[in-house]
Structure 1
Amino acid sequence: MSDSIRVLITDDHSIVREGLTLILETAENIEVVGEAADGTVALQLVAEKQPDVVLMDLRMPGMDGLTAIQHLQRDYPEVAVVILTTYNEDDLMLRGLQAGAKGFLLKDTPRDTLLDTIQAAAKGESLLNADVMGRLLVHTQAGGKRPSIPKESPLTERELQTLRAVAEGETNKGIALQLGITERTVKAHLTSVYNKLGVDSRAAAIAIAAQQGLL
């Protein structure tokens, strides 16, 4: 089990925790090291079990998921957080990504997507669902929280093209092919984007850029 990805599941519904555990137990390289029903217990278990990835519900009694993510980002930045979400939590999801979550999973997500997302998060990568990201970007431009469009973008046109491709769910290889550049150049553009926006992940970059009207 030494090479297994250690996962902690945090959700206030036992049926969700049990269902995810049953699915993850079928994966050879994933080990469920604990379950938590709220953010406070999750933080305790992170200290005790040292998971690689935490699956985090956002709406829970006691300490909610967003608060727990903020604590984890401050105290355990090496632990990757993946948000567990439903279709009516767009605003919370954006805030969670901005707080440092690596990505998100719908609670009814297919098994392969669940496993791929956990594996990507464990590597420090973000695996984003293009359909849901598209809905999130529309959400930031609708209703009463329309982002203000900056007079001058802090990002270059190439950096914006790269970030837009990321928001569409493209991999570094796909972005390189799409823009006619090398994967190393894609990584350099993303590093520059992270530095300019003050973030450290694709998910957070998209959340910030969307809220600032850059996308």
Structure 2
Amino acid sequence: MIRVLLVDDQELIRAGLRGILRSRFGFEVVGELPDGAGIVETVEELRPDVVVMDVRMPGTDGVTATRLVRAMPGSPPVLVLTTFEHEEVLAAALRAGAAGFLLKGVPAEDLQRAVRAVADGGAWLDPAVTGKVLATYRDGAIALHTAELDALTPREIEVLELIGTGLSNAEIAERLTLSEGTIKTHISHVFAKLHLRDRAAAVVFAFDHGLVRPGPRD
């Protein structure tokens, strides 16, 4: 079971998320919050595998709450959900450390896939707004890398490209017919060589350098 913490100010939305993230699909909703207040204490107590976070909430907003969660040792990944397509807000969530974002109203299967992906250490960027969000992210972010692609081996470039498409470590291992441990080693080398903070930054790098382009996910 993937343990999920829901953070959204609307009870109706949380009820809908509970219906999608049910045990029959491999999920367990271990807790809920109406905003980001108390998020650190709740995460410490419940130890969720993934935090599903709204960004526009009264009180402590989702970007601030994401930053608080990601500052915790061994913090769970945060998947941002929003009805807003404001790229500045979603870019701010990425800069705060979110593993990805998804627009509310997507099919239930997409939400389930997104939660599984980030729980497995992956990133998930909704293709409907990815291009605009990444452009805004790059404009406002501090430089996340100081090296270029020539610092990587051909295999590391291949791994970076697959990270950019949103594949998990296990999926990359299957695609390249390598062990998951080997993939983790390659990813560690990529992050170190390019001075990347996290997987979301690796996705941005892959888009920046033309390895991946916004579009529908396979």
TM, length-normalised to structure 1: 0.73
Q: CA deviation at 1:169?
A: 4.2
Whether the 8 Å contact between 2:172 and 2:183 is mirrored in structure 1 is no
Whether the 8 Å contact between 1:103 and 1:127 is mirrored in structure 2 is yes
Q: Which residue identity is paired with 1:167?
A: G
Verify: 1:154 aligned to 2:142, yes or no.
no
Paired with 1:132 and 1:171, the residues of 2 have a C-alpha distance of: 21
Q: CA deviation at 1:47?
A: 2.3
Paired with 1:189 and 1:134, the residues of 2 have a C-alpha distance of: 27
Uncovered stretches (5+) of structure 2, i.e. residues with no partner? 211-218
Match of 1:105 among 102, 105, 110: 102
Q: CA deviation at 1:135?
A: 3.5
Note the alpha carbon deviations across 1:131-180, whole angstroms, 9 max, x for none.
43233234457xxx488999x85332756675455434466767997xxx
Match of 1:51 among 44, 48, 51: 48
**Range that drifts further, 192-201 or 109-118:** 192-201
**Range that drifts further, 34-43 or 7-16:** 34-43
Change over 3 Å in CA distance of 1:61–1:74 after alignment to 2:
same
Note the alpha carbon deviations across 1:84-120, whole angstroms, 9 max, x for none.
1234232222232233222222111211111112122
Verify: 1:34 aligned to 2:21, yes or no.
no
Match of 2:122 among 97, 100, 125: 125
Match of 2:196 among 192, 195, 198: 198
Change over 3 Å in CA distance of 1:8–1:99 after alignment to 2:
same
Change over 3 Å in CA distance of 1:175–1:168 after alignment to 2:
farther
Whether the 8 Å contact between 1:98 and 1:205 is mirrored in structure 2 is no
Whether the 8 Å contact between 1:162 and 1:175 is mirrored in structure 2 is no
| Secondary structure, counterpart of 1:39 in structure 2 | coil
Paired with 2:196 and 2:135, the residues of 1 have a C-alpha distance of: 23
Whether the 8 Å contact between 1:128 and 1:167 is mirrored in structure 2 is no
In the TM superposition, 1:2-81 aligns within 5 A as 4-25=1-22, 27-81=24-78
TM, length-normalised to structure 2: 0.72
Q: Identity of counterpart residues, as a percentage?
A: 35
Paired with 2:41 and 2:59, the residues of 1 have a C-alpha distance of: 14
Change over 3 Å in CA distance of 1:128–1:25 after alignment to 2:
same
**Range that drifts further, 191-200 or 9-18:** 191-200
State how many pairs are aligned. 202
